[in-house]
Structure 1
Protein backbone atom coordinates (compact mmCIF):
# COMPACT_ATOMS: atom_id res chain seq x y z
CA UNK A 1 0.00 0.00 0.00
CA UNK A 2 1.43 3.35 -1.01
CA UNK A 3 2.31 5.98 1.57
CA UNK A 4 -0.25 8.33 0.04
CA UNK A 5 -3.10 5.86 0.66
CA UNK A 6 -1.97 5.21 4.22
CA UNK A 7 -1.83 8.94 4.94
CA UNK A 8 -5.30 9.44 3.46
CA UNK A 9 -6.68 6.70 5.73
CA UNK A 10 -4.95 8.21 8.80
CA UNK A 11 -6.26 11.67 7.86
CA UNK A 12 -9.82 10.34 7.54
CA UNK A 13 -9.58 8.52 10.90
CA UNK A 14 -8.21 11.62 12.65
CA UNK A 15 -10.86 13.79 11.01
CA UNK A 16 -13.67 11.49 12.14
CA UNK A 17 -12.22 11.31 15.65
CA UNK A 18 -12.00 15.10 15.74
CA UNK A 19 -15.61 15.45 14.60
CA UNK A 20 -16.79 12.94 17.23
CA UNK A 21 -14.88 14.67 20.04
CA UNK A 22 -16.14 18.07 18.87
CA UNK A 23 -19.69 16.70 19.00
CA UNK A 24 -19.07 15.49 22.56
CA UNK A 25 -17.78 18.92 23.57
CA UNK A 26 -20.77 20.65 22.01
CA UNK A 27 -23.19 18.22 23.66
CA UNK A 28 -21.72 18.95 27.12
CA UNK A 29 -22.48 22.65 26.82
CA UNK A 30 -20.34 25.73 27.27
CA UNK A 31 -20.78 26.03 31.01
CA UNK A 32 -19.70 22.45 31.77
CA UNK A 33 -16.67 22.66 29.47
CA UNK A 34 -15.59 26.02 30.92
CA UNK A 35 -16.05 24.85 34.51
CA UNK A 36 -14.56 21.35 34.32
CA UNK A 37 -12.89 21.01 30.92
CA UNK A 38 -14.84 17.79 30.48
CA UNK A 39 -14.68 16.34 26.98
CA UNK A 40 -11.68 18.36 25.85
CA UNK A 41 -9.09 15.62 26.45
CA UNK A 42 -9.99 13.51 23.42
CA UNK A 43 -10.01 16.55 21.16
CA UNK A 44 -6.57 17.54 22.42
CA UNK A 45 -5.21 14.02 21.85
CA UNK A 46 -6.32 14.21 18.21
CA UNK A 47 -4.54 17.56 17.91
CA UNK A 48 -1.38 16.16 19.55
CA UNK A 49 -1.33 13.13 17.25
CA UNK A 50 -1.85 15.31 14.18
CA UNK A 51 0.90 17.68 15.30
CA UNK A 52 3.30 14.78 15.95
CA UNK A 53 2.65 13.28 12.51
CA UNK A 54 3.17 16.63 10.80
CA UNK A 55 6.33 17.32 12.79
CA UNK A 56 7.70 13.86 11.97
CA UNK A 57 7.10 14.21 8.24
CA UNK A 58 8.48 17.75 8.09
CA UNK A 59 11.63 16.64 9.93
CA UNK A 60 12.12 13.57 7.73
CA UNK A 61 11.63 15.42 4.46
CA UNK A 62 13.77 18.38 5.50
CA UNK A 63 16.62 16.06 6.49
CA UNK A 64 16.14 14.08 3.29
CA UNK A 65 16.31 17.30 1.27
CA UNK A 66 19.39 18.51 3.11
CA UNK A 67 21.35 15.31 2.53
CA UNK A 68 20.16 14.92 -1.06
CA UNK A 69 21.18 18.46 -1.97
CA UNK A 70 24.28 20.51 -1.44
CA UNK A 71 24.97 20.21 2.29
CA UNK A 72 27.70 22.87 2.17
CA UNK A 73 25.22 25.46 0.92
CA UNK A 74 22.69 24.45 3.56
CA UNK A 75 25.23 24.76 6.36
CA UNK A 76 26.29 28.18 5.07
CA UNK A 77 22.65 29.31 5.12
CA UNK A 78 22.26 28.10 8.72
CA UNK A 79 25.51 29.83 9.67
CA UNK A 80 24.26 33.06 8.05
CA UNK A 81 21.05 32.87 10.05
CA UNK A 82 22.99 32.28 13.28
CA UNK A 83 25.17 35.32 12.48
CA UNK A 84 22.01 37.42 12.07
CA UNK A 85 20.72 36.13 15.42
CA UNK A 86 24.07 37.01 17.02
CA UNK A 87 23.89 40.53 15.55
CA UNK A 88 20.34 40.89 16.88
CA UNK A 89 21.46 39.70 20.32
CA UNK A 90 24.31 42.22 20.41
CA UNK A 91 21.99 45.07 19.36
CA UNK A 92 19.25 44.16 21.88
CA UNK A 93 19.25 45.31 25.46
CA UNK A 94 17.23 43.84 28.27
CA UNK A 95 15.25 45.69 30.90
CA UNK A 96 13.22 44.00 33.61
CA UNK A 97 9.62 44.77 32.59
CA UNK A 98 6.30 44.31 34.40
CA UNK A 99 3.74 42.36 32.37
CA UNK A 100 -0.05 42.72 32.29
CA UNK A 101 -0.67 39.69 34.48
CA UNK A 102 1.40 41.19 37.29
CA UNK A 103 4.52 39.07 36.78
CA UNK A 104 7.92 40.41 35.77
CA UNK A 105 9.69 39.70 32.50
CA UNK A 106 13.33 39.11 33.33
CA UNK A 107 16.15 41.11 31.83
CA UNK A 108 17.25 38.05 29.85
CA UNK A 109 13.73 37.42 28.56
CA UNK A 110 13.42 41.05 27.52
CA UNK A 111 16.74 40.83 25.68
CA UNK A 112 15.60 37.73 23.79
CA UNK A 113 12.37 39.50 22.79
CA UNK A 114 14.47 42.39 21.48
CA UNK A 115 16.71 39.91 19.69
CA UNK A 116 13.71 38.40 17.95
CA UNK A 117 12.52 41.82 16.85
CA UNK A 118 15.94 42.80 15.50
CA UNK A 119 16.26 39.48 13.66
CA UNK A 120 12.82 40.03 12.12
CA UNK A 121 13.76 43.55 11.00
CA UNK A 122 17.08 42.42 9.51
CA UNK A 123 15.47 39.51 7.64
CA UNK A 124 12.64 41.77 6.40
CA UNK A 125 15.14 44.31 5.04
CA UNK A 126 17.13 41.51 3.38
CA UNK A 127 13.97 40.05 1.81
CA UNK A 128 12.80 43.42 0.51
CA UNK A 129 16.30 44.14 -0.79
CA UNK A 130 16.39 40.78 -2.57
CA UNK A 131 13.03 41.47 -4.23
CA UNK A 132 14.11 44.95 -5.35
CA UNK A 133 17.45 43.61 -6.64
CA UNK A 134 15.68 40.80 -8.50
CA UNK A 135 13.21 43.24 -10.08
CA UNK A 136 15.97 45.62 -11.16
CA UNK A 137 18.02 42.73 -12.55
CA UNK A 138 15.02 41.47 -14.59
CA UNK A 139 14.34 44.97 -15.98
CA UNK A 140 17.95 45.53 -17.02
CA UNK A 141 18.46 42.14 -18.68
CA UNK A 142 15.42 42.38 -20.98
Structure 2
Protein backbone atom coordinates (compact mmCIF):
# COMPACT_ATOMS: atom_id res chain seq x y z
CA UNK A 1 0.00 0.00 0.00
CA UNK A 2 1.52 3.31 -1.02
CA UNK A 3 1.59 6.47 1.06
CA UNK A 4 -1.17 8.22 -0.91
CA UNK A 5 -3.65 5.39 -0.27
CA UNK A 6 -2.66 5.22 3.39
CA UNK A 7 -3.16 8.97 3.82
CA UNK A 8 -6.53 8.86 2.08
CA UNK A 9 -7.64 5.95 4.29
CA UNK A 10 -6.56 7.79 7.45
CA UNK A 11 -8.43 10.92 6.34
CA UNK A 12 -11.59 8.90 5.70
CA UNK A 13 -11.41 7.18 9.10
CA UNK A 14 -10.83 10.46 10.95
CA UNK A 15 -13.64 12.12 8.99
CA UNK A 16 -16.06 9.33 9.88
CA UNK A 17 -15.09 9.59 13.56
CA UNK A 18 -15.72 13.33 13.45
CA UNK A 19 -19.13 12.85 11.81
CA UNK A 20 -20.12 10.25 14.43
CA UNK A 21 -19.04 12.55 17.27
CA UNK A 22 -20.83 15.51 15.72
CA UNK A 23 -24.05 13.51 15.25
CA UNK A 24 -23.90 12.32 18.85
CA UNK A 25 -23.57 15.91 20.06
CA UNK A 26 -26.19 17.31 17.66
CA UNK A 27 -28.91 14.76 18.41
CA UNK A 28 -28.34 14.44 22.15
CA UNK A 29 -30.75 15.88 24.67
CA UNK A 30 -27.85 16.87 26.96
CA UNK A 31 -26.01 20.13 26.44
CA UNK A 32 -22.76 18.58 25.22
CA UNK A 33 -23.93 15.02 24.66
CA UNK A 34 -20.93 13.74 26.61
CA UNK A 35 -18.87 13.81 23.41
CA UNK A 36 -16.95 17.09 23.62
CA UNK A 37 -13.86 15.44 25.12
CA UNK A 38 -13.55 12.74 22.41
CA UNK A 39 -14.06 15.43 19.75
CA UNK A 40 -11.20 17.44 21.27
CA UNK A 41 -8.99 14.33 21.23
CA UNK A 42 -9.76 13.80 17.54
CA UNK A 43 -8.88 17.45 16.88
CA UNK A 44 -5.56 17.04 18.71
CA UNK A 45 -4.85 13.84 16.80
CA UNK A 46 -5.49 15.56 13.46
CA UNK A 47 -3.33 18.50 14.52
CA UNK A 48 -0.44 16.23 15.52
CA UNK A 49 -0.72 14.28 12.26
CA UNK A 50 -0.71 17.52 10.24
CA UNK A 51 2.34 18.84 12.11
CA UNK A 52 4.27 15.58 11.70
CA UNK A 53 3.46 15.36 7.99
CA UNK A 54 4.34 19.01 7.36
CA UNK A 55 7.65 18.70 9.19
CA UNK A 56 8.38 15.37 7.51
CA UNK A 57 7.88 16.75 4.01
CA UNK A 58 9.85 19.87 4.89
CA UNK A 59 12.86 17.91 6.15
CA UNK A 60 12.61 15.49 3.22
CA UNK A 61 12.75 18.36 0.74
CA UNK A 62 15.57 20.06 2.65
CA UNK A 63 17.62 16.88 2.69
CA UNK A 64 17.27 16.47 -1.08
CA UNK A 65 18.53 20.00 -1.86
CA UNK A 66 21.88 20.80 -0.22
CA UNK A 67 21.91 24.52 -1.20
CA UNK A 68 18.49 25.08 0.32
CA UNK A 69 19.59 23.35 3.53
CA UNK A 70 22.41 25.85 4.02
CA UNK A 71 20.09 28.83 3.39
CA UNK A 72 17.55 27.39 5.82
CA UNK A 73 20.11 26.97 8.57
CA UNK A 74 21.31 30.55 8.04
CA UNK A 75 17.74 31.87 8.24
CA UNK A 76 16.87 29.83 11.32
CA UNK A 77 20.15 30.88 12.96
CA UNK A 78 19.41 34.56 12.27
CA UNK A 79 15.91 34.16 13.68
CA UNK A 80 17.24 32.46 16.83
CA UNK A 81 19.91 35.18 17.09
CA UNK A 82 17.19 37.84 17.08
CA UNK A 83 15.39 36.01 19.89
CA UNK A 84 18.64 35.67 21.84
CA UNK A 85 19.32 39.42 21.53
CA UNK A 86 15.69 40.10 22.48
CA UNK A 87 16.01 37.87 25.53
CA UNK A 88 19.22 39.58 26.63
CA UNK A 89 17.61 43.02 26.27
CA UNK A 90 14.38 41.96 28.01
CA UNK A 91 13.24 43.50 31.29
CA UNK A 92 12.39 41.05 34.07
CA UNK A 93 10.71 43.40 36.53
CA UNK A 94 7.67 41.79 38.20
CA UNK A 95 4.44 43.59 37.33
CA UNK A 96 1.56 44.05 39.77
CA UNK A 97 -1.85 43.38 38.28
CA UNK A 98 -5.36 43.36 39.73
CA UNK A 99 -5.35 39.64 40.51
CA UNK A 100 -1.84 39.50 42.00
CA UNK A 101 1.58 39.79 40.46
CA UNK A 102 3.14 38.63 37.20
CA UNK A 103 6.39 36.79 37.91
CA UNK A 104 9.73 38.05 36.69
CA UNK A 105 10.09 35.05 34.34
CA UNK A 106 6.75 35.73 32.66
CA UNK A 107 7.57 39.42 32.45
CA UNK A 108 10.92 38.60 30.80
CA UNK A 109 9.30 36.25 28.26
CA UNK A 110 6.67 38.83 27.33
CA UNK A 111 9.35 41.48 27.00
CA UNK A 112 11.39 39.09 24.84
CA UNK A 113 8.44 38.58 22.49
CA UNK A 114 7.82 42.31 22.22
CA UNK A 115 11.50 43.06 21.59
CA UNK A 116 11.67 40.36 18.90
CA UNK A 117 8.55 41.79 17.27
CA UNK A 118 10.04 45.30 17.24
CA UNK A 119 13.34 44.09 15.78
CA UNK A 120 11.63 42.01 13.09
CA UNK A 121 9.28 44.89 12.25
CA UNK A 122 12.24 47.28 11.88
CA UNK A 123 14.04 44.76 9.65
CA UNK A 124 10.92 44.33 7.49
CA UNK A 125 10.41 48.08 7.14
CA UNK A 126 14.10 48.57 6.36
CA UNK A 127 13.99 45.89 3.67
CA UNK A 128 10.90 47.50 2.11
CA UNK A 129 12.70 50.84 1.91
CA UNK A 130 15.86 49.17 0.56
CA UNK A 131 14.02 47.32 -2.22
CA UNK A 132 11.98 50.43 -3.05
CA UNK A 133 15.17 52.49 -3.25
CA UNK A 134 16.79 49.90 -5.54
CA UNK A 135 13.78 49.94 -7.86
CA UNK A 136 13.83 53.73 -8.05
CA UNK A 137 17.59 53.70 -8.70
CA UNK A 138 17.16 51.46 -11.78
TM-score where L is the length of structure 1: 0.77
Matched position secondary structure for 2:34:
coil
Tell me, in whole angstroms, the C-alpha distance in 1 between the residues paired with 2:110 and 2:133: 35
Residue 54 (structure 1) aligned with residue 46 (structure 2)? no
Tell me, in whole angstroms, the C-alpha distance in 2 between the residues paired with 1:3 and 1:139: 50
Tell me, in whole angstroms, the C-alpha distance in 1 between the residues paired with 2:78 and 2:72: 10
Structure 1 alignment gaps of length 5 or more? none
Tell me, in whole angstroms, the C-alpha distance in 1 between the residues paired with 2:35 and 2:128: 49
Shift of 1:50: 0.5
The change in CA–CA distance for 1:26 and 1:105 in structure 2 (over 3 A counts) is farther
Residue 129 (structure 1) aligned with residue 120 (structure 2)? no
TM-score where L is the length of structure 2: 0.79
**Residue 18 of structure 1: aligned partner:** 18
**Residue 93 of structure 1: aligned partner:** 91
The change in CA–CA distance for 1:99 and 1:48 in structure 2 (over 3 A counts) is farther
Cα RMSD, aligned residues only:
2.4
**Residue 112 of structure 2: aligned partner:** 115
Counterpart among 76, 80, 83 of residue 81 in structure 2: 83
1:14–1:46 contact (8 Å) kept in structure 2: yes
Tell me, in whole angstroms, the C-alpha distance in 2 between the residues paired with 1:73 and 1:20: 46
Counterpart among 66, 69, 72 of residue 70 in structure 2: 72
Tell me, in whole angstroms, the C-alpha distance in 1 between the residues paired with 2:8 and 2:96: 48
What is the number of residues matched between the two proteins?
136
Shift of 1:8: 3.0
